[in-house]
Structure 1
């Protein structure tokens, strides 16, 4: 006999639900269609798969049906996965792989939930994630080393890049409890000037957002906010960091959030999704942008 995929799917679903009506609803087909498919399969096999106990009564699977159920379920699942893979492999509108540059200013759940959404949509997609500095991300994308980058909004834009705002991250300033800044009631630009301040590397303009706002501060550049936190923990200076990274240091009393008097020190970083203007898979870019906007606007725990 030839394999009739629909007939085997009808059998597996009916065995699962114990009812042709419920199985037909699950498969989005009519009761009569499902009945014919099962009857045709039984004719081909030469034996019954279900005992018909009367109208309206639950179907009882036969011994032969029970023996076939497990292997039939595996076969149907395999065929379903094969169909999905075949559709994605030959879809010209979807790349085989996507690479991201996501700096540590982004909460880790954003990266994880973005990957989840992509794999739910395209199960066979290959994903890779890099963790450059906040300002290195855009250069990696411009050099085509990654497809998408989460970047800090800058005044000097790269002409070959498209950037879309996805949200903001507020930064807090922290220092070790033993640092002189920790004893001050409120900070201003003048308060910070004598001390070392850790901040990620400069951007494509040659200056970081911090330099643009706070010109005279003694800045020591690090690649990651996490590096600045560890250096500040040793009492070597103060650091800016996003709240999600600062939280465990504050809870362990290793760093103190400093009181800010000057509005100039209330630093918020506007973040954007960057990718090349000629990126060929626009529906994919729109899908990623849509989910990042949703994730970045979700309430934080």
Structure 2
């Protein structure tokens, strides 16, 4: 039996991650299924690609010899898929976009959708409701063509899979508290003062890096959980939990300026995750001009809302 592309993709992922469990997490498949796929590949080609050990996996001589060509194969397949998608979209002008749950970004995206629908030729935005920090992963799995994420400046160029455009720089983040919280009236709030109050964060399954980055920054600033961190995939659900008194969460300025009823936003000290950027993300390999046009229109719509408020 001839090995298929998915098996070579599995091989490359395990080699890059150095761990079957990490590769399974990255590819969003369960570990037993990934292990079976890898064993089938090794059986099909007639040799072991990895040496398994307690500390992870190491490439065998055969694995080392095949890895460069496997990487090229996977990259070529991704480029071909991106090209095919671009050709299809050039005739249908459809862009799948991850949604933003908070004002004014949600309103700007809705007006972008209406405006582009009247263009000649029209561009149809198909909105996808995703976990709040799951857009990058959805781009990798080709669920969407354009997404948004909060990223630190040093992370922007760390992954050449993505092209990006900075939409907004958030100069400080906010603690979102229940409206009746004893500290809700503070002008600024050190995370240490919230120690013991349950913290609600994005699910690490959607973006483990962002989860660890936020939790680490708050811990370094003195926050001690004292209880398991609650996870919630939807920002709206997280804010509703806060309003019900289930804990507190961290959010950017857009949420703080338009708080959900039953919640208040209190600034965190300026050094905590300072300079985090809201960015538009798309696959660098596609270089899709339609996607860039959507980003340009969205930024213009967002700026018009800022001008109206000023």
TM-score by length of structure 2 reads 0.56
Instruction: Tell me the distance in 1 between the aligned counterparts of 2:186 and 2:110.
Output: 39
Change in 2 beyond 3 A, CA 1:239/1:289? same
1:274 CA drift (Å): 1.1
Q: Give me the whole-angstrom Cα distance separating, in 1, the residues matched to 2:181 and 2:301.
A: 36
Secondary structure (helix, strand or coil) at the match of 1:201 reads coil
Residue 101 (1) aligns with residue 101 (2): no
Aligned residue runs from structure 1 range 1-301, under 5 A: 94-96=90-92, 97-105=94-102, 107-122=105-120, 124-154=122-152, 155=155, 157-169=158-170, 171-182=173-184, 186-202=188-204, 203=207, 205=209, 207-215=211-219, 216-218=223-225, 219-242=229-252, 244-245=254-255, 249=259, 252=261, 254-258=262-266, 260=268, 262-265=269-272, 269-279=276-286, 282-300=288-306, 301=309
CA gap 1:246/1:224 in 2 versus in 1, 3 angstroms: farther
Question: Are the equivalent residues in 2 in contact too, given 1:226–1:245 (CA < 8 A)?
Answer: no
Give the gaps of 5 or more residues in structure 2. 1-86
Is contact 2:164–2:281 with CA below 8 Å preserved after alignment? yes
Where does residue 88 of structure 1 map in the other structure?
Answer: none
Alignment deviations for residues 67-98 of structure 1 (CA, whole Å, 9 cap, x no partner): xxxxxxxxxxxxxxxxxxxxxxxx98825121
**Kept after mapping to 2: 8 A contact 1:166/1:273:** yes
Give the TM-score taking structure 1 as reference length.
0.58
> Highest relative contact order (Cα 8 Å, sep 6+), 1 or 2?
2
What is the DSSP-based 3-state SS (H/G/I as helix, E as strand, rest coil) of the residue aligned with 2:126? strand
Q: Is the 8 A contact 1:104 1:133 kept in 2?
A: no
Question: Any stretches of 5+ residues in structure 1 without a counterpart?
Answer: 1-90
Q: Which has the larger radius of gyration?
A: 1
Q: Deviations over 1:193-216 (max 9, x none)?
A: 221122323425363542242235
Residues 271, 181 of structure 1: alpha-carbon distance in 2 compared, 3 angstrom cutoff: same
Q: Is the 8 A contact 1:201 1:223 kept in 2?
A: yes
**C-alpha separation in 1, matches of 2:186 and 2:258:** 22
Contact map agreement 1:152 1:269 (CA 8 A) in 2: yes
Report the RMSD for the aligned CA atoms in angstroms.
Answer: 3.2
